[in-house]
């Protein structure tokens, strides 16, 4: 590019500072993109690509978008994973000679969005910063710029850090320059790989620098006063996030004023697989909210509430007191149906105060935003009145947090018109009576317009030209327009200004005088209104702390109201939560499946789990019987209770769990495309390593991904481990279609057998969906295959093969299968096998027989019975 224009030189210089962003270069009414940026943007935005210096051999591709409708273009680029650097003219072009000075005023990245148009209302938009410390310690900080939420924690080990990152579900991840993805621990690498990764310079990750950034932002003298003294790496991650924010946002971020330091142990731990399997916030197959637990429970009225509910379900509690507080609040709102309905009515009229607060704080809010703030605040006094008589501690504290912010509401009411225009630069925003000077200027402008109308009438009379019009035009100002046919009657004192096809335009001295006055006033009005608006916005921004607290209170209130609403509609009950090791559920239902109304009535089931006799429930039964549904329902009820929700059951007692683990057999999560046996085993290994006696484990069809003998063996050994290992010994639901596993209960005291009742009828199977004590005697695979519409011949042939196989197992496979070094009973009776249940029964029956009281007839009958048995 031998002959660069000065403008191009300026462009290239600015662009060199933002190599990984698409540079929007402001030129007049357009943002232009050049070179590679233009090629990318033209394709994604579907806009015309042209070029400068056409045909010169030095062509520069470029494209552009109009500045006033730039938002959707930015949104589209961000959506496709790009960053956009906005470069503005920072001097008035009229007052500069040569080239206008330009600067990048902010960089928009996926994790730092604030525009309402680009954000899903019911989802947070997080940037997550990771920092690896010493001893495999990980600092994690995450923030939602649009709402001001900022959290930090520290975790030990890559898997724990990855689990947390998955839970946060960030839009963008920040790592240090030079941190190679390949060097990250496997779990983290897997998580980060397909995400948008941004980099901060390596020097940022330094103690003193990050400490000063964090203390500065949160107005603290030291990290200690923020509760960060035990989290050196968390502090660095938080500082790196703030650095990145400042670099890109380049404006004050007053609404980020609180840093929440948390420990993982404060919440019910759910590993990523469990979150997925239980479909807590998204369905497994499509990743949709609809069909998940969240989708089923969300009856919130505001987006703040919707986001908060998602957080409560993602981070259920483990502390008894806070759980009980939520439950009391829901109970009170459930009982007070009238109050609840009125609260809903008020909440529905409240806008997203968190995000409004963010936009106001970052000076990107318009008149409509302020007015939305006003209209929302207006509803708060009534809402507080409704809350005031309520008794539960949590509702009382929310009532105190929710602040009507009267003076702000008054300020906006007095200052901003009821329906302000979108633009901030063209006036019409500030209400009459707010500012004297503005009112005067408006009077002048109004008078001037009246004068113009009078002047027009006067000139028509004077010239006798009835088609004479006074027109206004941005470039030439006011003029008198006379059509060509009337030119003969134009008076002497008219001064010609402009010639059109059919008319001439003139001015007079009188018109010119007024023009100056009116236009002067109008310019001044726009300027003054803009200044006044900014002042009002700043006054509101100065209260961002109070607004944030109010928004926070409203979000929680909305969730509690929504939980009460759902509990009422679906007949949920209040769980009794305690620190026991029991989980006792009467008539429990699966919240999501029950609400889907699939035609089949949902059959409720009981559960009894504890650390003593009912530690492991071994649930056997055919495929499609309802095992998975049952186990998930127990896990979901536990999770709901710890999130503070009522539960779908007639009664429930939940001894708080520290973790919930679920492992779902390979066949059940094909959707992930990774249903390898290896993955299944890795997840199971993780469970056995991390589970505690306070945990709840759901093992669904473990070992299904391999051959039958392998599978049974692994499942068997895993169940034994959970039962026998004192540090593990978790409450466990163990489902398997290997009915052989029911034998375990005979050797392990805390294992209880359950099965899903089925009725056999005409060689068919009918699922009753009831969980009953006992075990299944068959897998019924062939019957299920018949239900699925397999051809008759295949079914018949399968039966034949099954028959042969089963005989084969009896003859040679079985004894080897059940033998164990440890199991005493096996050593005592070398004949014992899994599959000899008939012989067992025979033996038992004979043992019970008391010959001294048996009549000959009874003996004969017994003989007949025994014969049938074999």
For residue 817 the two structure tokens come to 């299968």
625 is in an annotated binding site: yes
> Which one, 337 or 596, has the nearer CB to ligand ADP?
596
Answer for the pair 83, 109: CB distance below 8 angstroms, yes or no.
Answer: yes
> Which one, 629 or 732, has the nearer CB to ligand ADP?
629
From the CB of 154, what's the least distance to ligand ADP, in Å? 39
From the CB of 593, what's the least distance to Mg ion, in Å? 13
- Name which of residues 450 to 479 contact ligand ADP (CB under 6 A): none
621 is in an annotated binding site: yes
Among 629, 662, 669, 755, binds ligand ADP (CB under 6 A): 629
User: Rounded to whole angstroms, how far apart are CA atoms 688 and 729?
Assistant: 10
In 3D, which of 185, 180, 181, 169 has the Cα closest to residue 137? 185
In 3D, which of 117, 89, 26 has the Cα closest to residue 368? 117
Strand 751-761 with 605-609, pairing: unpaired
135 is in an annotated binding site: no
For residue 611 the two structure tokens come to 């650390």
How many CB atoms sit inside 10 A of residue 452's CB? 18
> Which one, 301 or 628, has the nearer CB to ligand ADP?
628
From the CB of 310, what's the least distance to Mg ion, in Å? 27
Site mask for ligand ADP (CB under 6 A), range 762-791, x = bound:
-------x----------------------
DSSP 430: B
Q: Specify the stretch interacting with ligand ADP by CB under 6 A; choose among 214-222, 498-506, 616-624, 856-864.
A: 616-624
From the CB of 638, what's the least distance to ligand ADP, in Å? 17
From the CB of 631, what's the least distance to Mg ion, in Å? 8
From the CB of 700, what's the least distance to ligand ADP, in Å? 7
> Which one, 114 or 714, has the nearer CB to Mg ion?
714
For residue 519 the two structure tokens come to 């236009």
From the CB of 571, what's the least distance to ligand ADP, in Å? 16
From the CB of 603, what's the least distance to ligand ADP, in Å? 4
Q: Is 578 helix (H, G, I), strand (E, B) or coil?
A: strand
- Name which of residues 620 to 639 contact Mg ion (CB under 5 A): 628
302 scored as a contact of ligand ADP (CB under 6 A): no
Q: Is 707 helix (H, G, I), strand (E, B) or coil?
A: coil
Strand 495-499 with 503-507, pairing: antiparallel
DSSP 382: H
Taking CB within 5 to 8 Å according to partner kind, which of Mg ion, ligand ADP, none is near residue 625? Answer: ligand ADP
Among 151, 505, 627, 729, binds ligand ADP (CB under 6 A): 627
Of all residues in the shown chain, the one whose CB is closest to ligand ADP is: 626
From the CB of 287, what's the least distance to Mg ion, in Å? 21
Q: Which residues of 850-860 are buried (b: 16+ CB within 10 A; e: fewer)?
A: eeeeeeeeeee
213 scored as a contact of ligand ADP (CB under 6 A): no
User: Rounded to whole angstroms, how far apart are CA atoms 185 and 180?
Assistant: 11
> Which one, 302 or 779, has the nearer CB to ligand ADP?
779
List, in sequence order, every residue forming a beta bridge with 174; answer none if it has no partner.
129, 198
450 is in an annotated binding site: no
Answer for the pair 454, 462: CB distance below 8 angstroms, yes or no.
Answer: no
477 is in an annotated binding site: no
Answer for the pair 233, 132: CB distance below 8 angstroms, yes or no.
Answer: yes
- Name which of residues 788 to 827 contact ligand ADP (CB under 6 A): none
From the CB of 741, what's the least distance to ligand ADP, in Å? 14
For residue 155 the two structure tokens come to 């975790």
CA 36, 40, 43, 47 torsion-angle sign: negative
Site mask for ligand ADP (CB under 6 A), range 564-593, x = bound:
-----------------------------x
722 scored as a contact of ligand ADP (CB under 6 A): no
Strand 60-66 with 30-34, pairing: antiparallel
For residue 72 the two structure tokens come to 């959707």
Of all helices (H) and strands (E), which one includes residue 768?
strand 764-773
Answer for the pair 736, 601: CB distance below 8 angstroms, yes or no.
Answer: no
User: Rounded to whole angstroms, how far apart are CA atoms 458 and 437?
Assistant: 31
625 scored as a contact of ligand ADP (CB under 6 A): yes
> Which one, 38 or 757, has the nearer CB to ligand ADP?
757
662 scored as a contact of ligand ADP (CB under 6 A): no
603 scored as a contact of ligand ADP (CB under 6 A): yes
How many CB atoms sit inside 10 A of residue 35's CB? 17
User: Rounded to whole angstroms, how far apart are CA atoms 297 and 290?
Assistant: 10
Among 600, 793, 811, 812, binds ligand ADP (CB under 6 A): 600
> Which one, 329 or 624, has the nearer CB to ligand ADP?
624
588 is in an annotated binding site: no
Taking CB within 5 to 8 Å according to partner kind, which of Mg ion, ligand ADP, none is near residue 593? Answer: ligand ADP
For residue 839 the two structure tokens come to 């012989």
Beta strands in 90-244 (DSSP E): 102-108, 127-132, 137-144, 149-156, 172-176, 196-200
> Which one, 3 or 600, has the nearer CB to ligand ADP?
600
Among 109, 146, 614, 623, binds ligand ADP (CB under 6 A): 623
Q: Is 175 helix (H, G, I), strand (E, B) or coil?
A: strand
Among 376, 628, 662, 730, binds ligand ADP (CB under 6 A): 628
CA 599, 601, 606, 607: dihedral to nearest 10 degrees? 0
In 3D, which of 654, 145, 85, 171 has the Cα closest to residue 362? 145
626 is in an annotated binding site: yes
734 scored as a contact of ligand ADP (CB under 6 A): no
From the CB of 274, what's the least distance to ligand ADP, in Å? 17
Size of the site for Mg ion (CB under 5 A): 1
Answer for the pair 431, 439: CB distance below 8 angstroms, yes or no.
Answer: no
User: Rounded to whole angstroms, how far apart are CA atoms 6 and 10?
Assistant: 6
347 scored as a contact of ligand ADP (CB under 6 A): no
Q: Which residues are annotated as a binding site?
A: 621-628
Residues of the shown chain interacting with Mg ion in the complex, contacts defined by CB under 5 A: 628
Q: Which residues are annotated as a binding site for ATP?
A: 621-628
Residues of the shown chain interacting with ligand ADP in the complex, contacts defined by CB under 6 A: 593, 598, 600, 602-603, 621, 623-629, 769
């Amino acid at each position: 590019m031998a002959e660069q224009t000065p403008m191009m030189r300026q462009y290239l210089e600015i662009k060199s500072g933002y190599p990984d962003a698409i540079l929007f270069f402001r030129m007049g009414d357009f943002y232009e993109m050049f070179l590679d940026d233009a090629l990318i943007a033209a394709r994604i935005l579907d806009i015309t690509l042209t070029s400068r210096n056409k045909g010169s051999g030095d062509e520069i591709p470029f494209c552009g978008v109009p500045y006033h409708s730039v938002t959707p273009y930015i949104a589209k680029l961000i959506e496709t994973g790009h960053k956009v650097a906005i470069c503005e003219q920072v001097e008035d072009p009229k007052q500069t000679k040569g080239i206008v000075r330009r600067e990048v005023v902010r960089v928009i990245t996926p994790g730092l969005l604030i525009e309402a148009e680009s954000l899903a209302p019911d989802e947070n938009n997080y940037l997550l910063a990771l920092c690896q410390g010493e001893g495999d310690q990980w600092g994690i900080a995450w923030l939602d710029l649009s709402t001001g939420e900022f959290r930090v924690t520290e975790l030990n080990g890559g898997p724990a850090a990855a689990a947390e990152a998955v839970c946060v579900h960030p839009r963008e991840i920040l790592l240090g320059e030079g941190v190679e993805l390949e060097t990250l621990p496997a779990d983290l690498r897997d998580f980060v790989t397909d995400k948008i990764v941004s980099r901060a310079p390596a020097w940022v990750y330094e103690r003193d620098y990050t400490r000063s950034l964090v203390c500065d932002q949160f107005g603290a003298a030291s990290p200690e006063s923020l509760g960060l003294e035990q989290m050196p790496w968390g502090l660095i991650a938080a500082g790196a996030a703030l650095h990145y924010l400042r670099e890109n946002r380049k404006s004050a971020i007053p609404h980020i004023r609180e840093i929440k330091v948390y420990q993982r142990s404060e919440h019910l731990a759910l590993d990523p697989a469990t979150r997925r399997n239980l479909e807590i916030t998204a369905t497994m197959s499509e990743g949709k909210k609809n069909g998940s637990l969240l989708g089923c429970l969300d009856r919130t009225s505001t987006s703040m509430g919707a986001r908060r509910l998602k957080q409560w379900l993602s981070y259920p509690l483990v502390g008894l007191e806070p759980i009980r507080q939520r439950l009391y609040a829901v109970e009170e709102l459930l009982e007070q149906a009238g109050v609840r309905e009125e609260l809903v009515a008020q909440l529905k009229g409240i806008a997203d105060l968190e995000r409004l607060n963010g936009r106001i704080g970052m000076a990107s809010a318009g008149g409509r935003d302020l007015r939305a703030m006003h209209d929302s605040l207006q509803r708060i006094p009534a809402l507080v009145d409704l809350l005031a008589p309520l008794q539960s501690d949590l509702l009382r504290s929310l009532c105190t947090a929710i602040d009507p912010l009267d003076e702000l509401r008054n300020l906006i009411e007095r200052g901003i018109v009821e329906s302000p225009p979108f633009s901030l630069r063209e006036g019409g925003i500030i209400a009459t009576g707010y500012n004297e000077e503005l009112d005067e200027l408006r009077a002048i402008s109004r008078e001037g317009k009246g004068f113009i109308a009078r002047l027009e009438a006067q000139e028509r009379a004077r010239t006798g030209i009835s088609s004479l019009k006074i027109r206004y035009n941005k470039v030439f100002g006011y003029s008198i327009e006379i059509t060509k046919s009337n030119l003969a009657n134009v008076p002497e004192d008219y001064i010609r200004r402009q010639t059109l096809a059919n008319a001439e335009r003139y001015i007079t001295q009188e018109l010119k005088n007024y023009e100056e006055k009116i236009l002067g006033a109008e310019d001044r009005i726009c300027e003054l209104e803009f200044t006044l608006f900014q002042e009002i916005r700043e006054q509101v921004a100065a209260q961002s702390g109070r607004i944030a607290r109010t928004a926070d209170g409203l979000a929680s209130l909305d969730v509690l109201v929504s939980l009460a609403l759902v509990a009422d509609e679906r007949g949920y009950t209040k769980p009794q939560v305690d620190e026991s090791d029991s989980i006792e559920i009467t008539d429990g239902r699966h919240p999501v499946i029950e609400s889907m109304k699939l035609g089949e009535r949902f059959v409720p089931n009981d559960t009894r789990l504890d650390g003593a006799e009912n530690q492991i429930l071994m649930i056997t039964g055919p495929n499609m019987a309802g095992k998975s549904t049952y186990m998930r329902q127990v896990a979901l009820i536990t999770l709901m209770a710890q999130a503070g929700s009522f539960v779908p059951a007639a009664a429930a007692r939940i001894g708080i769990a520290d973790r919930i683990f679920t492992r779902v057999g390979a066949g059940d999560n094909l959707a992930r495309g990774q249903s390898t046996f290896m993955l299944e085993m890795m997840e199971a290994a993780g469970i056995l390593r991390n589970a505690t006696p306070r945990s709840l484990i759901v093992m669904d069809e473990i070992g299904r991904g391999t051959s039958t003998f392998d599978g049974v063996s692994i499942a068997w050994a895993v169940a034994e481990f959970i039962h026998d290992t004192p540090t593990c010994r978790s409450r466990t639901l163990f489902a398997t279609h290997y009915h052989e596993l029911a034998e375990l209960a005979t050797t392990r005291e805390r294992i209880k057998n359950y099965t899903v009742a089925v009725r056999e009828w005409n060689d068919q199977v009918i699922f009753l969906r009831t969980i009953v004590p006992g075990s299944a005697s068959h897998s019924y695979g062939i019957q299920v295959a018949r239900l699925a519409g397999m051809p008759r011949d295949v079914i018949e042939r399968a039966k034949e093969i099954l028959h042969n196989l089963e005989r084969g197992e009896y003859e040679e496979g079985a004894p080897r299968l059940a033998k164990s070094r440890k199991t005493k009973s096996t050593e005592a009776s070398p004949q014992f096998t899994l599959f000899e249940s008939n012989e067992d029964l025979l033996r038992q029956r004979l043992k019970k027989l008391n010959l001294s009281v048996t009549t000959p007839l009874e003996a004969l009958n017994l003989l007949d019975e025994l014969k049938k048995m074999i």
